[in-house]
């Protein structure tokens, strides 16, 4: 068996996604081609090792200036080749690694989401975009939705075999109910027409086609958003993790939805670097701003770790961007600049007892905490910092009253 065919067989045995398979095969081919160009002839990977891997990864980072995620994907492909195919465990990675940037997601406002959805042509693409924002689905999760996984009675959508092979349930938005029912009726009519022509089969995962021979033609297994023409499974044959027993329809292609969404965003004047996935980011951010707890949002998004979900606190109005700018406090209603007040009233709690100062650092800036011992109880008062004030940000008039 040829080398790349061995890679494909191993990845299909592990039930890896077809996109992952294509990406890994492409990186292994680029690795072999890189060393062919460097040496003037093809070399088998058995003749190579850590030095050749490090040279290729350094080339990607220095010459090609690829992103960190791209370099990591290439490394994963090469590790699979050397460790799992060639059984070489002596690989030592010392290449120059691209730095992984910390980026925040692009989030649309509620009005921007509404404008984009109205601009998308009525049909499957608008419904899919609505599911991304209304239920937090990934683009491929929405495209791969099957008829049996839409539960109108319980107002739920079941996501099967999502990212990481995990299942989850998400809410079915009421405003999408009519659109989904209409889409499923069109799918039913199309499926009956295909069956009458000898087609109507659909791809089934793993060995379900053998376990349930007729399931591939049942309406429940059909995609809610089928493709426009009958097609075949590109991985059909030995080693495929699924099977289709005859001609049928695959789901709508993700690029079809992406193009319509991108066109709609351009038409409504959105200049943000947004995409279909921005609907999912907006879903999580808007839920967080409504007061939903982070663990619930994590479950709805299907994140393995809550730290992944925490990224939305950086873009929500209840996080770092929810503070009021000092400039806004200086501007009046007509936009004129207002000087800070020069007189400060003394808080009543400071007129009694013998306070003492305790220093504390809170969120990167120093504040003074005044502890008042009064009638045997301890009360704490946090005084705001005042520009030009005395020690700890307390106004000089207050310090005079306390001395």
pLDDT band of residue 335 (cuts 50, 70, 90) is: low
Lowest-pLDDT range, 56-65, 102-111, 371-380?
A: 371-380
Q: pTM value? A: 0.73
As a whole number, mean pLDDT of residues 330-334 equals 63
Q: Is 277 a catalytic residue?
A: yes
**Among 217, 243, 250, 303, which one carries the catalytic annotation?**
303
Percentage of the chain modeled with pLDDT above 90: 53
Please report which residue ranges of 336-395 form alpha helices under DSSP H: none
Q: Which pLDDT belongs to residue 18?
A: 84
Radius of gyration of the chain (CA): 30
User: What number of residues does the chain have?
Assistant: 403
Identify the H or E element spanning 63. none
Q: Is the pLDDT of residue 298 over 80?
A: yes
Rounded to the nearest integer, the mean pLDDT of the chain is 81
Domains in the chain, ordered, with CATH? Answer: 3-85 (1.10.150.130), 102-144+251-323 (1.10.443.10), 145-250 (no CATH), 348-402 (no CATH)
Q: What is the pLDDT of residues 351-403, one digit of tens each?
A: 444 444 434 334 333 333 333 333 334 444 444 444 444 444 444 444 444 44
Q: Which pLDDT belongs to residue 368?
A: 39
Q: Is 163 a catalytic residue?
A: yes
Q: Which pLDDT belongs to residue 88?
A: 85
| Cβ atoms of 3 and 77 closer than 8 Å | no
Q: Is the pLDDT of residue 132 over 70?
A: yes
pLDDT band of residue 333 (cuts 50, 70, 90) is: low
Q: Which pLDDT belongs to residue 207?
A: 76
Residue 201 vs residues 17, 191, 241, 373: alpha-carbon distances, Å: 21, 9, 17, 80
- CA 150 from chain centre, in angstroms, equals 23
**Among 133, 286, 312, 395, which one carries the catalytic annotation?**
312
**Among 35, 126, 138, 286, which one carries the catalytic annotation?**
138
Q: Is 90 a catalytic residue?
A: no
| Cβ atoms of 248 and 199 closer than 8 Å | yes
Residue 159: count other Cβ atoms within 10 Å of its Cβ. 22
Q: What is the pLDDT of residues 209-243, one digit of tens each?
A: 788 888 989 999 999 999 988 877 665 654 455 56
As a whole number, mean pLDDT of residues 113-123 equals 96
Torsion of CA 126, 127, 128, 129, to 10 degrees: 50
Strands annotated E in 198-274: 204-205, 242-243
Q: Which pLDDT belongs to residue 328?
A: 74
Q: How far apart are CA 208 and CA 204, in angstroms?
A: 6
Q: Is 138 a catalytic residue?
A: yes
Q: Is 303 a catalytic residue?
A: yes
Residue 332 vs residues 163, 336, 340, 369: alpha-carbon distances, Å: 50, 5, 12, 31
**Among 158, 163, 186, 314, which one carries the catalytic annotation?**
163
**Among 235, 263, 277, 314, which one carries the catalytic annotation?**
277
DSSP letters for 65-111: ---HHHHHHHHHHHHIIIIIIS--------SPPPP----PPP---HH
Q: Is the pLDDT of residue 184 over 90?
A: yes
Percentage of the chain modeled with pLDDT above 70: 76
pLDDT band of residue 334 (cuts 50, 70, 90) is: low
Q: Is the pLDDT of residue 293 over 60?
A: yes
Identify the H or E element spanning 158. strand 156-159
């Amino acid at each position: 068996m040829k080398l790349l065919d061995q890679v494909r067989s191993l990845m299909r045995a592990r039930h890896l996604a077809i996109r992952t398979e294509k990406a890994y095969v492409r990186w292994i081919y680029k690795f072999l081609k890189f060393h062919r160009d460097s040496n003037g002839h093809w070399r088998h990977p058995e003749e190579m090792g850590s030095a050749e891997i490090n040279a290729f990864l350094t080339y990607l980072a220095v010459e090609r200036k690829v992103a960190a995620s791209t370099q990591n994907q290439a490394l994963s492909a090469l590790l699979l080749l050397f460790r799992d195919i060639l059984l070489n465990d002596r690989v030592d990675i010392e290449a120059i690694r691209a730095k992984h940037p910390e980026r925040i997601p692009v989030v649309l406002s509620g009005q921007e989401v509404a404008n984009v959805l109205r601009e998308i042509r009525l049909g499957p693409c608008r419904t899919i975009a609505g599911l991304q924002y209304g239920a937090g689905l990934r683009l491929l999760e929405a495209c791969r939705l099957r008829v049996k996984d839409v539960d109108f009675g319980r107002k739920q959508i079941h996501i099967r075999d999502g990212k990481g092979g995990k299942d989850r349930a998400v809410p079915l938005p009421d405003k999408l109910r009519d659109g989904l029912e209409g889409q499923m009726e069109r799918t039913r009519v199309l499926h009956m027409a295909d069956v009458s022509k000898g087609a109507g089969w659909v791809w089934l995962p793993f060995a379900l086609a053998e376990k349930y021979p007729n399931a591939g033609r049942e309406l429940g297994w059909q995609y809610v958003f089928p493709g426009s023409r009958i097609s075949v499974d590109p991985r059909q044959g030995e080693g495929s993790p699924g099977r289709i027993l005859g001609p049928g329809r695959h789901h709508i292609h993700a690029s079809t939805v992406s193009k319509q969404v991108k066109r709609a965003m351009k038409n409504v004047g959105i200049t943000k670097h947004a995409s279909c996935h921005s609907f999912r980011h907006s879903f999580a951010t808007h839920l967080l701003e409504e007061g939903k707890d982070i663990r619930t949002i994590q479950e709805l998004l299907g994140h393995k770790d809550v730290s992944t979900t925490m990224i939305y606190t950086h873009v929500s109005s209840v996080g770092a961007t929810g503070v009021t700018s000092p400039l806004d406090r200086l501007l009046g209603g007509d936009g004129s600049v207002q000087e800070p007040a020069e007189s400060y009233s003394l808080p009543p709690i400071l007129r009694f007892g013998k306070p003492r100062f305790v220093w504390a650092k809170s969120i990167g800036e120093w504040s003074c905490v005044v502890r008042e011992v009064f009638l045997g109880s301890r009360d704490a008062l946090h005084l705001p910092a005042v520009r030009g004030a005395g020690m700890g940000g307390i106004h000089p008039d207050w310090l005079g009253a306390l001395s």
